Amino acid sequence: MNIEAIDKAFVMGTYARNYTSFVKGVGSKLYSDDGSEFIDFASGIGVNSVGHGNEKLVEAICNQAKKIIHISNLQVIEPQAMLAKKIVELSGYDGKVFFANSGAEANEGAIKLARKYGKEANEHKKYKIITLANSFHGRTITTVKATGQHSFHDASFAPYPDGFKFVETIADIYEAIDDETVGVMLELIQGEGGVYAFDKDEIIALRAFLDEKKLLLIVDEVQTGIYRSGEFLASNFYGITPDIITMAKGLGGGVPIGAFMSRHKDILKAGDHGSTFAGNYLSSSAGLTTLEILSELYDTHKLQETIKYFDEELNELLKDFSDIFESTSGIGLMRGIKVKREYDVGAIVKACMKHQVIILKSGRNTARFLPSLTITKDEIDEGFSRVRIALNDL
């Protein structure tokens, strides 16, 4: 059976795919169908937050699947209610949660909430949302429009929904606000746009300004959330209180789930928004167990130790390969290393794959690391030693 041929014949070719076929994962190690072992520094683009084959998560999913997988949102769902409570408690914010199935969907819901708020809180409806250059908010027709990278706005897919305005920098937001603006949507650390972390003071000042003007701050934490930054939410790390926070990637440990939380708890009412699948027994019990595992990792300071160790290794890499790399970026276990103009980051990612370590590309010239939050020191050592071999082999 030739998987590559079948994939190419029957799956739409929307991804520039690598054809290594993985059959098993343990922690941050992955095994391909020919028995080769890879170190996983990508964790499925920040999704496998508790590693592969995590026993506690697997057991929770299996136990839940044996009992009940799905009932619609027309019934109360115990693990969904418990997961919402846990998200609110871990965040330290006052709010309520809506569940979705993905990051884009969480952002769609956040945009709906913002627009309804914009109508109810003002005499004339406010609806425009300001987003930033190099941002990424998803692939649906609305979230792709919200994404501030023009390469995503292919004319083939037009017309796009109205109501978004792009600016280059945080400082540009202030002038871009008009009397139809309802708020600003941003990632505190831009994931797809080069692993770029915004300046803390600039974000705190923006939050204060938006509060004063009664404008919303929507923080897209689809990638930065769920301890990726070292805190439960990057918003906690930045010390701000957003109006709406969206999450997804790491929340289910690999099971599809998205969510948004808002301090405007009762804007959306029965019938305003919904989802058939979202927050079902399976995904919300996976979410609950994922958060149990990760909050323990945080409380025992193991996460902070891993972050420190990874940071040291990444900076050693920068020092030893200063001919190839320019600087490191990012926060927590969401890290980038910027590649000098003479080098092609795509070729580096490929060379790493050849030497059995998986890393990612971000933006035009950044190599990105999104390891599982449970990665061990040995796995980090082994991964960086393979990255070094790959770089020497360029």
Ligand X SMILES: *Cc1c(COP(=O)(O)O)cnc(C)c1O
> Which residues contribute to the site for ligand X (CB under 6 A)?
102-104, 107, 136-138, 187, 191-192, 220, 222-223, 248-249
> Token pair of 310, please?
């990874």
Given 3-state DSSP classes, what are the helix, strand and coil percentages for the chain, each rounded to the nearest 5?
40, 20, 40
Residue 181 gets the label, from left (phi > 0), alpha (psi -120 to 50) or beta, of beta
Smallest separation, CB 387 to ligand X (Å):
23
CB 233 within 8 A of CB 245: yes
Q: How far out from the chain centre does Cα 47 lie?
A: 8
Smallest separation, CB 47 to ligand X (Å):
9
> Token pair of 47, please?
């999704």
Smallest separation, CB 15 to ligand X (Å):
12
Nearer to ligand X, 80 or 135 (CB): 135
Smallest separation, CB 55 to ligand X (Å):
26
| 334-368: b (≥16 Cβ within 10 Å) or e | bbbbbbeeebebeebbebbeebbbbbbbbbebbbb
Smallest separation, CB 46 to ligand X (Å):
7
| Helix boundaries (H) for the chain | 3-10, 43-46, 55-67, 78-91, 103-120, 141-146, 170-176, 200-212, 234-238, 281-299, 302-320, 345-354, 377-392
Smallest separation, CB 194 to ligand X (Å):
12
Measure the CA–CA gap between 97 and 80, rounded to whole angstroms.
10
Kindly list the distances between the CA atom of residue 269 and the CA atoms of 194, 257, 266, 389, in Å, as whole numbers in the listed order.
Answer: 38, 21, 6, 56
Measure the CA–CA gap between 30 and 353, rounded to whole angstroms.
12
Smallest separation, CB 104 to ligand X (Å):
3
> Token pair of 302, please?
């193991």
CB 255 within 8 A of CB 286: yes
Nearer to ligand X, 110 or 345 (CB): 110
Measure the CA–CA gap between 391 and 343, rounded to whole angstroms.
11
Nearer to ligand X, 102 or 235 (CB): 102
Centre a 10 Å sphere on the Cβ of residue 149 and count the other Cβ atoms it contains: 18
Smallest separation, CB 297 to ligand X (Å):
21
